[in-house]
Every structure is written in C-alpha cells, then in structure tokens.
C-alpha cells in the first residue's frame, strides 16, 4: 500500500492565507483544515490513482480538484478561493443534476444559488425542484415537501411528505414524536386538524382560507428552518444512499455554514412579512477552533389591514468547530439550536362567538458531529453523529357556546350511563399539549481496499433513534364540549365524543438500522462505470425490513453519461399513528327533561373502541433511468422514474348496527321520571382506525436544461419541467353520508362505494433568463412559469354504489345496482361530479428579481411574484365554484450588509 502526502496552501484573491478552510477527500470522507498560514497536509495510504478534494470556506466559492497520486509527495501549490459575490465572472444561478451527489437523482443547490434567492425559509429554496409549482415567499400555511407525486388527495400527500427525510448536518429531523391534533378515531384522518374556518375571522370578503398550524401526519414544517446560514442543499428524489433510513420518498440533505466568516446582516421587507438576520463566524484561536452564531427573526401577517392572522419565528443557532491532535486528525462540531414559533389567529372583536386559535411551540436541540481520519491501508475514517431534541407544542382554540342546556357524560367504558344536565352557556376549549423528545445517533466507518485494478470504498454504519412524547395530551372537559361534539336539548343525535388522553402514557418508539455500501469504479469498454451499491436493515415497530439500493452510471462518451438506480425504502409509522388513543361514541337513548334537573333524566349508551398498534412500515420501490448530456457549456439532464408505494397509512371507517333499548318516561313531581323499556331499536355506531390500505404507482419524467452565458446579451437560460402520473388506490370502501332529506324508513342514509381508484396527471415547466453583468455586479432574473396539466381521472365504476344503510339502520347490499331505481338512483355519481376541479387549459405566471451589489459589501435585491398581476380564473365543471390558479402579486426587497 502506497504512502502518499498531499500538501498545499490556500489563499484568497489578495494572496492572503485562509485559516480553517475545510478540505474533504470525497471518496474516503476524510477531513482536514488549513492552519493560520493557509497550509494543509494529508498523509494517506491509498492505491487509487485519483482522489477528489473539495475546498470550502464560508463566503467563498467551493473549489474541487482532482489529484493524481502518481508521486509519493504531491504539492498542490497555491489553491486560490474566490470570494462569493456578483462581480465574479462565473456563478451558479440555477440548480443542476450532474452526478456530483450521493445519488443519480441528486439536485445540488449550492451557496451561489442560495445567495440569489429571497427566502423566508428553506421551502423557498426548493422552488428549484423541476415540475414543482413556484410558490411565493410566505409563512401563512404549513409547508411540507412532497417529491415525485401528483396526488389530488390530502392523505396521499401526507404520506409522501411524511416519507421525505430532512437531514441537517448529518442528523435526521424527525416528526415521529409529533402528536398534535384531534383523535383520528372520531372522524378519521381529515378531522384531526384543529382549524378555524375562512369565514370565522378577518375582514369580510377578504381573500382568506381556513387555517391549521399542525403538521402531525406529514413531514416537518419547513417554515421552522431559516435559510440564512445554509451552505448547500442536496435534494434526492430518487434512490438515496443506504446510510439514510426511515424514509420512502427521498431526502433533503442540508449542510450549514461552520467556520470563520465576516458578520452578515440581512433584512427582508415583503408585503406580508419582515425578516431580520445576523450571522458571524469567529476564529477563537488555533487551539480553540471556530465559533459561529446566527440569529433570525420573522414577523408575518396574512392581511396587513387587520393583522388578525400572524406567524412569528425566532431562531438562534451556535456552532463550535475544532480539530485536535498533532496532525489535526480529529474534527468535532457541536451545535446548539433554539427555535420559537408563535402562530395563530387572534380573537376578532366583531365575532360574536369570540373564536381564536393558537399554535405555539419551541424547540431546543443539541447535536454533535465527530470524525477521525486514519492513516491506515484499510481504515480511512470513522464518524459519529448524535442529536437530542426537545420541544413543547401547544394547540389551543376556544369559542363561545349558547344553548338552552347541554347533556354530557363522564363515561369511559362501554355500557349504559345516565346523562348529566348543565348550562348551555359556556366557553368550549380545545387544548392539545405535546412535548416531543427525540434522540438519534449514527456511527459510520469508511474503509478502502483493492481487488485487482478496482478501488473499493466500503462504508459500514449503524443508527438508532428514540422518540417519546411527554405532553399532557388532549385536555378535554366533557362538560364543555366543542361544537358537533356536544348533545343539546335540540340535537339529540348520536356521534363521537371526546375524552382526556395523556400522551405520556404511550410507549416510546425505538428504531434501529445497519447498512453497508460499496462505492467503486471499473473500466468497461474503455469508459468509467461508477457504482454505488449497498443494503440496509431496519428494525421498525417490531418488523425487520431489508432495503437493497444501487446507483450506477456509465460514461458513454465525453458528452454523454447514462444512469440506472434501483432501491427499496421503509418509513416507520409515527407515535400519532401507533397510539391515537381510544375512540368514544355516544348514543342518547332518552331525554326526559322538564326544565327542572331534579325531575329530569337521560340515558346514554357509550361505546369505546381501543385501537391496536399493528401498523407496518410503509415502503416504496423505485427504479430510475437518468441521462446527462453536455455539449460545450450546454447541460441537459433527464430523469425517468417509476415509484411504487405500498402499505401507505390511512384511516378506515367502521360501522356497526346494534340493538339498543327503547325507553318511555313518565314524569313524577319532585323526583326523577319513571323510565321503562318498551322494546329495542337498531342504532348505528361508527369509529375510525389506522390501517395500511394505500397503494400508488408513480411515473414521470423530469428535465433540466442549462445554457452558457451568451456574452452579447450577458444572459444565460434555464429550462426545467416534467410530467408526473400517479395512479393511487385505497383498499378501504368509500363512505358518503347523505343529507337526511327523505325520512322514509327505506331511504338511503349512508352510501358505500367501491375501492377508491384514480389517476392524477400533473405537468409544469418554466423558462428562466439570468442576465449577469459582473462589471457592475448586477443580476436580473425573469421566469415564465407554465402549468400544463392538472387533472384527475376516476376509474370506471368509482361512482357506482355497492350498498347503503337506510333510515332503519339496515344495510342493503347492491350486487347489481340499478341507476333507474327511484329509491337510490341519486347515489350514482357522474364523471363531472368527480372531476369538478380539473384544469382544462394551459396557465402561465411570471416572476422577476433584480440584485445589485455595491463594493462587495452591500447588496440590494428586489423581487416580484406574479409581476404582471395575471390572475386567470375559470369555473369548475359543475359551474359551482371559481378556481384561481395564480395568487395575487407579492413583492419584497432585501438588503444585506457584509461587515
């Protein structure tokens, strides 16, 4: 095994040495830093002829050098890093796919690009993803990320976003311990969100939507992650490396800035938000390393005229980085993060119900990354990542209630119980208190060996994650029920009811994984065949899953590279899926009330359902073909994929008809009435529980074309887009309660339809021009966005009923339904009723931004979303509502100062 020494010196453009430059050998994951003279030295044992070195430093363009190890001692001489600003001749403005990441599908968003995007959160940076609708910078709704799915279904979107891993500085940001929301056992997946309706707040006729700030069953809310100190983002929409687990639909890998840097002050003013940021990196000393600090505050309103709906975010981040030992082989980075979110809708003084809603949370986390570089023929590097996170989430809403009186029970077991009479004038309160705690750790060993002429970089690793929620839970007072969960003197209908549920009683979630991955390159027909192949074993919720994954690409010619990727991936259910809590259903059997509680009595039947946590992990199988064609400075990348989802999680509604007593009451002065049973009557009870009933098949094509800068007009162009097709299927029967307009005993009350199968097509594209004039440090960008297709097609027969419950609560099976039968012909749904929101023509939108730097220290940027105020609108198929594909123009200005 050859002993090599790689040395050099890193300077800036003014020939000043740069201290603490991060230097990484990509193949072996070995790290080093430059000293105060800018010098670095690697001693390595390696038989490979070529190694890739990456040089990175905050505020400077990343530089990559290919090193040929033909000599024992290699002096790279002077490495010059260029300061990142608009006076550079070449800067990256649009994201590319060029096989530089850990997956064939990796889309790299570097600091060059991040500097040019006016972002309130990381979500705004992800508008670079092809075939994704561009959204204006805003913090007025929960921001989840879904990858490669065209779903016209909330539950499938939630499964997709829940399966996208967010990795920051090597540690996964898990949402598994989040349990905020109402009990899904009451009315299903769609009723878990604590929501205030669009008509319940703010100015009349204002452009408002109903609002909910929880994100329990989806992915992490990206509003919580500021964009100020992000160094790079790698978006993996295809097959990720086996080192990443607990995912089904890809990964967003974020690396933050660490090291010495000047102070940056940023201020962004938008029509609906203001943002202030400060960051700086200090070099404490050669012995104490570097210390980074970042502070960000955002204040955002949905409508500046009344400021009823607001979102406020405070983020504080500190990172300490140091190297140890004579040869600085040990590198450690310790991070501290604190975030606080104040989100909600204030009480409207004009609202007679006094409604308001509040989503408040804070999060505190500590994370550590340690790596040690070996000088050994086989062992190259070992790293250890750990993260501890603790949060407090509070969801609170209240509303005035005014009834003659209410009836309620305190029962928590199945059986008969007497009702309790109470005043009907009260304030209903819904309060959910969650306190998630997550702990994760990962150890990885990087090794190297050679078989014949093939160099193998073999990586082993294992990870463990722990999640618990110690919150007070769903705090419920049965005597103060919220609307639609109360029984009043005029609404003696059956329905779900709520009880207190303590989150701290749930069993902690403990998942582990182990993986091995070999990265090697062979010569095939005189060309390079790059291979990354590995296997991962996961233990999730008492199930073991094996995930083979591979990414292969072949350099066909100097201009063309082709890739093939295949892999399986598994995502564990979260605590909210596994332990939703018992569901309760109340049926009032009699209410004998004369205005005097002592002379009145009511009887209820309570049904309790306790769910079992037998959910399996959802999983996806992905196969992807990719191509990269380079002709000069033209760059065209194409991805074709097929992704199959199995065991997606949904709620199923269960109905049961049971015979219950019929009572008759006789009033007796001075005492409770005499109640006697006169017979029985069939009653319906229902509840929901989770199961693995969802499947989908997703296919699509994505393309990105980047042109060189045409010097005559100082402009380059970017074209990106794609088309997705998602065929999705729910194994549960679809249930539709009907309006009780016909009270005949044999008339349908609840209709059942066959399994829900449909296919959605979505296609969008954009053309962007970027005019960059380095001499005056000016950048002007213009984007034309196109929405080509957005439609859903239901499978034949999906609108045909298969049965129904009638008003007698008898189930009537329809093996051969007759659409002319006058009793139930109205149950048949037309195609128009199912496809009412489909888009039937192409829509466009236009955006613009301008950025100007002054003396490399001051930067001013102005941007407008929907710059031409183009707001087309059309009626849905039924003519019952107006659809507006483009939102109103929003604009913003950003000022950044480098001190």
Q: b vs e for 493-509, b when ≥16 Cβ sit within 10 Å of the residue's Cβ? A: ebbbbbbebebeebeeb
To the nearest whole number, what is the mean pLDDT of the chain? 90
**Nearest alpha-carbon partner for 102 in 500, 490, 436, 517:** 517
> What tens digit of pLDDT does each residue of 188-238 get?
888 888 888 766 677 766 666 778 888 899 889 999 999 888 999 999 999
- pLDDT for 456 beyond 80: yes
| Residue 304 tokens, joined | 């500046």
- Residue 207 has a pLDDT of 65
CB atoms within 10 A of CB 579: 18
Instruction: Please give the C-alpha separations between residue 879 and each of 26, 208, 633, 752, in angstroms, as whole numbers.
Output: 58, 21, 50, 26
> What tens digit of pLDDT does each residue of 274-284 get?
999 999 999 88
> What tens digit of pLDDT does each residue of 123-137 get?
999 999 999 999 888
Instruction: Please give the C-alpha separations between residue 575 and each of 555, 654, 717, in angstroms, as whole numbers.
Output: 45, 22, 46
Task: Round to whole Å and give the CA distance between 486 and 481.
Answer: 5
- pLDDT for 48 beyond 70: no
Instruction: Report the DSSP pairing between strands 230-236 and 251-256.
Output: antiparallel
- Residue 25 has a pLDDT of 87
Residue with tokens 């975010």: 313
CB 515 within 8 A of CB 461: yes
Least confident of 242-256, 693-707, 836-850: 836-850
Answer whether 5-80 and 91-898 agree in fold.
no
Rg of the chain over all Cα atoms, to the nearest angstrom: 30
- Name the class of domain 5-80: mainly beta
Cβ neighbours of residue 332 under 8 Å, at least 6 residues apart?
321, 322, 323, 324, 368, 369, 370, 371
Question: Global pTM?
Answer: 0.92
**Nearest alpha-carbon partner for 228 in 281, 154, 185:** 281
- What is the SS3 assignment for 744? coil
> What tens digit of pLDDT does each residue of 50-75 get?
888 889 888 888 888 888 877 778 88
Residue 11 pairs with which residues in a beta bridge?
17, 80
Residue of higher predicted confidence among 831 and 325: 325
Domain ranges of the chain: 5-80, 91-898
**Nearest alpha-carbon partner for 810 in 657, 691, 676:** 657
- Residue 474 has a pLDDT of 96
- The full DSSP string for 556-619 is -SSSEEEEEEEEEEEE---HHHH----EEEEEEEEEE--S-GGG-EEEEEEEEE-----PPPEE
Find the Cα–Cα–Cα–Cα dihedral 43, 48, 52, 55, rounded to 10°. 0
Portion of the chain with pLDDT greater than 70, in percent: 96
Residue of higher predicted confidence among 287 and 514: 514
Contacts of 824-833 with CB under 8 Å at 24 or more apart are 824/748, 824/751, 827/738, 827/748, 827/751, 827/801, 828/799, 828/800, 828/801, 829/753, 829/798, 829/799, 830/799, 831/794, 831/799, 832/877, 832/878, 833/799, 833/878
- Residue 690 has a pLDDT of 94
Average pLDDT over residues 550-565: 95
Instruction: Please give the C-alpha separations between residue 116 and each of 85, 848, 861, in angstroms, as whole numbers.
Output: 10, 12, 8
> What tens digit of pLDDT does each residue of 141-164 get?
899 999 998 876 788 999 999 999
Least confident of 651-660, 681-690, 750-759, 888-897: 750-759
Handedness of CA 622, 625, 630, 635 (dihedral sign): negative
Residue with tokens 């550590």: 368
- Residue 359 has a pLDDT of 93
Alpha helices (H) in 77-116, listed in sequence order: 111-114
- pLDDT for 335 beyond 80: yes
Task: Round to whole Å and give the CA distance between 794 and 92.
Answer: 43
- pLDDT for 870 beyond 70: yes
- What is the SS3 assignment for 464? strand
Task: Round to whole Å and give the CA distance between 614 and 632.
Answer: 56
- Residue 831 has a pLDDT of 65
- pLDDT for 2 beyond 80: no
Fold entry, domain 91-898 = Maltoporin; Chain A (2.40.170)
User: Residue 490 — very low, low, confident or very high, per pLDDT cuts 50/70/90?
Assistant: low
């Amino acid at each position: 095994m050859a002993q090599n020494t790689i040395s050099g010196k890193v300077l800036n453009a003014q020939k000043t040495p740069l201290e603490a430059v991060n230097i990484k050998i990509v193949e072996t994951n070995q790290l080093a830093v430059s000293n105060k003279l800018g010098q670095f030295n690697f001693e390595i044992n390696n038989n490979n002829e070529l190694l890739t070195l990456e040089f990175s430093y905050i505020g400077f363009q990343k530089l990559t050098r290919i090193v040929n190890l033909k000599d024992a001692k290699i002096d790279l001489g002077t490495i010059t890093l260029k300061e990142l600003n608009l006076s550079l001749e070449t800067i990256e403005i649009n994201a590319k796919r060029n096989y530089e990441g850990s997956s064939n599908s990796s889309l790299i968003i570097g600091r060059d690009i991040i500097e040019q995007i006016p972002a309130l959160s990381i979500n705004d940076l992800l508008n670079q993803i092809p075939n994704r609708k561009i959204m204006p910078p805003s913090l007025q709704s929960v921001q989840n990320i879904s990858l490669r799915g065209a779903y016209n279904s909330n539950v499938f979107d939630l499964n997709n976003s829940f399966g996208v891993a967010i990795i920051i500085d090597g540690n996964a940001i898990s949402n598994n311990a989040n349990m905020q929301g109402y009990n899904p056992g009451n009315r299903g997946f769609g009723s878990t969100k604590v929501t205030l309706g669009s008509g319940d707040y703010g100015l009349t006729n204002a452009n408002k939507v109903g609002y909910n700030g929880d994100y329990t069953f989806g992915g992490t809310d990206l509003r919580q992650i500021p964009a100020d100190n992000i160094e790079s983002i790698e978006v993996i929409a295809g097959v990720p490396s086996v080192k990443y687990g607990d995912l089904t639909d890809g990964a967003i890998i974020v690396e933050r800035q660490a090291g010495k840097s000047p102070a940056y002050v940023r201020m962004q003013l938008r029509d609906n938000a203001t943002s202030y940021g400060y960051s700086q990196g200090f070099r404490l000393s050669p012995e104490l390393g570097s210390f980074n600090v970042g502070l960000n505050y955002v204040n955002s309103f949905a409508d500046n005229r009344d400021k009823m709906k607001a979102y406020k975010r405070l983020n504080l981040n500190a990172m300490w980085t140091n190297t140890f030992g004579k040869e600085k082989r040990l590198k450690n980075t310790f991070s501290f993060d604190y975030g606080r979110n104040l989100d909600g809708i204030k009480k409207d003084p004009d609202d007679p119900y006094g409604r308001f809603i509040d989503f408040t949370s804070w999060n505190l986390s500590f994370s550590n990354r340690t790596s040690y570089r070996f000088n050994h023929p086989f062992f190259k590097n070992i790293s250890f990542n750990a993260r501890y996170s603790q949060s407090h989430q509070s969801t609170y809403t209240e509303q005035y209630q005014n009834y003659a009186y209410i009836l309620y029970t305190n029962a928590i077991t199945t059986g008969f119980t007497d009702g309790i009479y109470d005043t009907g004038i009260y304030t209903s309160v819904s309060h959910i208190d969650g306190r998630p705690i997550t702990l994760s750790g990962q150890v990885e060993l990087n090794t190297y060996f050679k078989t014949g002429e093939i160099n193998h970089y073999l990586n082993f690793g294992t990870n463990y994650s722990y999640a618990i929620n110690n919150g007070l839970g769903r705090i419920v007072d049965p005597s103060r029920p919220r609307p639609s969960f109360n029984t009043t003197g005029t609404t003696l209908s059956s329905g779900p009811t709520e009880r207190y549920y303590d989150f701290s009683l749930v069993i902690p979630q403990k998942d582990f994984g182990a993986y091995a991955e070999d990265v090697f390159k062979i010569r095939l027909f005189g060309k390079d065949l790059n291979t990354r192949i590995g296997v991962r074993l996961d233990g999730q919720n008492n199930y073991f899953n094996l995930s083979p994954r591979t990414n292969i690409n072949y350099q066909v010619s100097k201009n063309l590279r082709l890739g093939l990727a295949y892999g399986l991936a598994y995502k564990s259910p979260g605590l909210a899926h596994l332990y939703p809590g018992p569901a309760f259903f109340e049926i009032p059997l009699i209410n004998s009330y004369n205005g005097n509680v002592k002379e009145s009595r009511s009887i209820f039947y309570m049904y309790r359902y306790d769910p079992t946590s037998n959910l399996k992990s959802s999983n996806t199988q992905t196969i992807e073909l990719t191509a990269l064609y380079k002709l000069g400075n033209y760059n065209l990348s194409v991805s074709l994929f097929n992704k199959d989802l199995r065991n997606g999680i949904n709620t199923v509604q269960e109905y049961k008809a049971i015979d219950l007593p019929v009572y008759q009451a006789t009033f007796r002065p001075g005492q409770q009435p005499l109640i006697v049973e006169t017979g029985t009557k069939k009653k319906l009870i229902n509840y929901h529980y989770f199961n693995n009933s969802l499947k989908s098949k997703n296919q699509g094509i994505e393309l990105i074309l980047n042109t060189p800068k045409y010097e005559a007009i100082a402009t380059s162009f970017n074209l990106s887009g794609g088309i997705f097709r998602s065929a999705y299927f729910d194994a549960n029967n679809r249930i539709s309660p009907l309006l009780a307009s016909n009270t005949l005993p044999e008339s349908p009350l609840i209709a059942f339809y066959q399994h829900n199968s449909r296919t959605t097509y979505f296609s969008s594209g954009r053309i962007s021009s970027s005019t960059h004039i380095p001499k005056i440090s000016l950048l002007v960008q213009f984007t034309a966005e196109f929405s080509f297709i957005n439609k859903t097609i239901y499978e034949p027969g999906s609108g045909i009923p298969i049965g129904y419950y009638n008003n007698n609560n008898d189930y009537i099976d329809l093996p051969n339904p007759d659409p002319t039968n006058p009793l139930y012909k109205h149950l048949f749904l037309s195609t128009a009723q199912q496809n009412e929101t489909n888009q039937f023509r192409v829509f466009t939108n236009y955006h613009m931004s301008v950025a100007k730097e002054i003396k490399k220290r001051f930067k001013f940027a102005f941007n407008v979303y929907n710059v031409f105020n183009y707001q087309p609108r059309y009626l849905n198929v039924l003519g019952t509502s107006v659809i507006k594909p483009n939102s109103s123009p929003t604009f913003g200005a950003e000022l950044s100062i480098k001190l």
